[in-house]
Structure 1
Amino acid sequence: MKDDIRLLDLPLKPGDPPFSAWGYWGPEDEIGTLNWLSKDVVRQAAAEIVSGARFSLNWGLNMPTTAGFGRHECRLSHTIYQPGPMLALDEEVSFNTQRSSQWDGQRHFAYQKEQLFYNGVKLEEILSGSSTLGMQNWHKAGGLAGRAILLDYWSYTEAMGETYDAAQEAHAITFDNLMACLQYQQNLSSTPIIPRQGDFVLIRSGFTHCYQKLKADQERAIATVSAPITCGVEQDVRMLEWLWEHRIAAVGGDAPAWEVLPPTCKGSAGFLYHEVLIAGWGCPIAEYLWLEDLAEYCKREKRWTMFLSSCPLNVQGGVASPANLMAIL
């Protein structure tokens, strides 16, 4: 039975990369953990809509000001023009899908040592013109919709009397502290915050909160440093196990990479989450999410679960997409 497969059973085939689940949903699968978004999962998630409050989780397309990770600048270009004699306007928008709030798709990151993408796809196949692992597969599956849990780690640390600079420090959010944050929120909440199959897990690190306070030279410094430095989740096998055992469909947060960089591996955990989640499980990662308004509402209402909906760009062979995320409570 597939449900009996645990993290320690991965990989499924000898020679596959560490913790990879290639073949779990079949050798031709192209949507990975989105397979856990069954009709029953989505229908049950709709029960999270109680007040009708809704929040866009999308940062402006012009943010952050400076592109990080050595990327081409590719600034947002927005042109409005009148195409003909009638009073009507058209527009053209161009941008890098790795800027602002985004989904990292299956084509975005590979296992670095093995040089293989999800389910063993090679770079040559992607660059040959094939649409394998492209964003269009998420649309064929019906997009992304389900229950989400917000782990407001930034507010938790404030409540604990701790401080750190989420925009300029490589602060490692440990597995133990995330579980403590979850328990802290559960103690305040009147409804259960128990992870279940198909959930999305969002982590508020405080990055966008702190980013807004940066001066121009500080903003450029964190984006142009030779080795990326960013706060995020510490690489820990226990975190992988938690995500896998709870059948989490996707993860996301307000930080630039979701995981801490440079990596600070707990114990013998020698991996990047981008490798295992994206290339190993086909699990989408959302970055640079705007969680400030949502977090404030959740804190006030003492409720951290919600219905989440996203319809990324339908680009044949697409690598990533603006998140297009909405939370409804």
Structure 2
Amino acid sequence: MHEDDHDCSPSCGAALAFAADGGPPETPHVATLLDGLPDNWDRWGDDDERGTLNLLGSAEAAAGMRAALAGGDDAIERFTLGLPLTGEAIPEGSTATGDPAFPGRDVSRRDNTSDERAYREGERDPSAGMKFSDDRFSTPFYLQGTTHMDALGHAWYGDYLYNGFDADATAATKRFDTPVEGFDGKVAETRGHANASIAPLADAGVAGRGVLLDVARHRDDGDDTRLPMGAEITLDDLQTTADAQGVTVAERDILLVRTGSMGHTRDPEAAWNPTDEPGLAFSEELVEWVHDRDIAALGADNVAIERVTQRIDGETYVLPLHGAFLRNLGLPLVEMLWLDDLAAACTEDGIYEFLLTAAPLHIQRATGGPTNPVVLKATDGD
């Protein structure tokens, strides 16, 4: 792996009181933790910005299609995995229902700019009798505030992003010829990613064989379908779940891990805390397993894929797998998936493989993009 001894700052709002006592966590340098683990730098050329999406070609799309067609032309179910945007905010630790918001990303709310009231009250005139409704966001719309794919440059440590791009590429300034009105006046200049943005992943798209590992159902340390807050998912949990489901995680698969956490955000009886969600736990074996299988993309139904803070060898780390997966392997992460409906269907017919397609919104220079993945899954038809 490419070593780096420079200082870094936690990403994703990690400085926002993640420690249980409300104080800042200890921050040993993650470079030491990840030293010696695999990376994919230069594997697809020194200018590559697509990472493991390079693994998805015609054969991988065909494998997904075969999975979808395994029950025949008349036995295909369709699922979308994107969360609805309700605009409802959930106070941390409460049992309110609404949109999950990671610290630093407020819930987004939209409002109408045109509707029947506007025509009725004379604010707008019909065009040859035709009327139209329209809307816009009235609060900041955080691109990673709902179901989304992380750009490969979204998280890093030291002075380098995925594939050796300079970390200063995350703060490249662009001036626009025509200013437009923003929340705080005219916007004529912004900062964004010159490299490793979401745009190359949007260009590539995702299409391949997806596999769901429903750890929440098979580990059985919460209720029937959800892991408790604070639960950590190990490599052994993934392998045990795959065995219980009778499914194999093959090379170049798209792996989805279900914790049940997003179900808490839609359940008025369940408390939810974004910084204490269940999620993957770092281990060298997990990183090597993901690398050895050339997992093409990784998604989960929580806000960060992994546990936000993790105790490893007596030290506290913040999102270490983001460093291992995004920065080192170039592995796109898809967060805040809605997996409950898909999981229920998989449980009913015992089929946990499918065709998965997805693409984030193509937003130039962005650190992530909202997405609504589509699954086509075979069913036994009963």
Cα offset, 1:14, TM superposition: 6.2
Contact 1:136-1:316 at 8 Å conserved across structures: yes
Q: What is the rounded CA distance, in whole Å, between the counterparts of 2:170 and 2:263 in structure 1?
A: 37
Q: Which residue of 2 aligns with 1:121?
A: 165
Verify: 1:24 aligned to 2:72, yes or no. Answer: no
Cα offset, 1:166, TM superposition: 5.3
Q: What is the rounded CA distance, in whole Å, between the counterparts of 2:215 and 2:88 in structure 1?
A: 21
From 58, 66, 79, the counterpart of 1:39 = 58
Verify: 1:134 aligned to 2:197, yes or no. Answer: yes
Question: SS in structure 2 opposite 1:110?
Answer: coil
Taking a change above 3 Å as real, the CA distance of residues 242 and 294 of structure 1, as seen in their structure-2 partners, is same
Contact 1:278-1:285 at 8 Å conserved across structures: yes
Q: Deviations over 1:26-45 (max 9, x none)?
A: 11100101111022211222
Verify: 1:196 aligned to 2:250, yes or no. Answer: yes
Verify: 1:96 aligned to 2:158, yes or no. Answer: no
- AA in 2 matched with 1:52: I
- AA in 2 matched with 1:95: F
From 258, 261, 267, the counterpart of 1:213 = 267
Cα offset, 1:183, TM superposition: 0.3
Taking a change above 3 Å as real, the CA distance of residues 166 and 195 of structure 1, as seen in their structure-2 partners, is closer
From 77, 100, 107, the counterpart of 2:110 = 77
Verify: 1:146 aligned to 2:208, yes or no. Answer: yes
Contact 2:203-2:362 at 8 Å conserved across structures: no
Contact 2:88-2:107 at 8 Å conserved across structures: no
Q: What is the rounded CA distance, in whole Å, between the counterparts of 2:314 and 2:171 in structure 1?
A: 37
Q: What is the rounded CA distance, in whole Å, between the counterparts of 2:375 and 2:360 in structure 1?
A: 15
Q: Deviations over 1:66-116 (max 9, x none)?
A: 4644314252324351576231223324621121211111131112xx142
Q: Deviations over 1:112-142 (max 9, x none)?
A: xx1422122233222123532122212332x
- AA in 1 matched with 2:253: D
- AA in 2 matched with 1:292: D
Question: SS in structure 1 opposite 2:312?
Answer: coil
- AA in 1 matched with 2:293: H
- Unaligned runs of 5+ residues in structure 1 are 1-10, 187-192
Q: What is the rounded CA distance, in whole Å, between the counterparts of 1:267 and 1:244 in structure 2?
A: 26
Q: Which residue of 2 aligns with 1:56?
A: 80
Verify: 1:169 aligned to 2:240, yes or no. Answer: no
- AA in 1 matched with 2:141: F
Taking a change above 3 Å as real, the CA distance of residues 215 and 14 of structure 1, as seen in their structure-2 partners, is closer
From 307, 324, 327, the counterpart of 2:372 = 324
Q: What is the rounded CA distance, in whole Å, between the counterparts of 2:102 and 2:312 in structure 1?
A: 20
Q: What is the rounded CA distance, in whole Å, between the counterparts of 1:202 and 1:230 in structure 2?
A: 16
Aligned residues: 299
Contact 2:151-2:201 at 8 Å conserved across structures: no
Q: What is the rounded CA distance, in whole Å, between the counterparts of 1:240 and 1:47 in structure 2?
A: 28
Verify: 1:65 aligned to 2:89, yes or no. Answer: yes
- The runs of at least 4 consecutive aligned structure 1 residues that moved more than 4 Å come to 13-17, 164-168, 266-271
Contact 2:212-2:258 at 8 Å conserved across structures: yes
Q: Compare 126-135 and 252-261 and name the one that shifted more.
A: 126-135
From 186, 211, 217, the counterpart of 1:155 = 217
Q: Deviations over 1:189-210 (max 9, x none)?
A: xxxx222232111011111223
Cα offset, 1:145, TM superposition: 0.9
Taking a change above 3 Å as real, the CA distance of residues 163 and 140 of structure 1, as seen in their structure-2 partners, is closer
Cα offset, 1:214, TM superposition: 4.7
User: If each structure's helix is expressed as a fraction of its own residues, which one has the higher value?
Assistant: 1
Cα offset, 1:248, TM superposition: 0.4
- AA in 2 matched with 1:56: T
- Unaligned runs of 5+ residues in structure 2 are 6-30, 70-74, 91-99, 116-123, 174-192, 378-382
Taking a change above 3 Å as real, the CA distance of residues 89 and 241 of structure 1, as seen in their structure-2 partners, is same
Question: SS in structure 1 opposite 2:355?
Answer: strand
Taking a change above 3 Å as real, the CA distance of residues 104 and 296 of structure 1, as seen in their structure-2 partners, is same
Instruction: Provide the TM-score with structure 2 as the length reference.
Output: 0.71
Q: Deviations over 1:256-304 (max 9, x none)?
A: 2111232143799977111111111221111111001100000001000
Question: SS in structure 2 opposite 1:138?
Answer: helix
Instruction: Provide the TM-score with structure 1 as the length reference.
Output: 0.82
Contact 2:112-2:133 at 8 Å conserved across structures: no
RMSD over aligned Cα atoms: 2.7
- AA in 2 matched with 1:304: Y
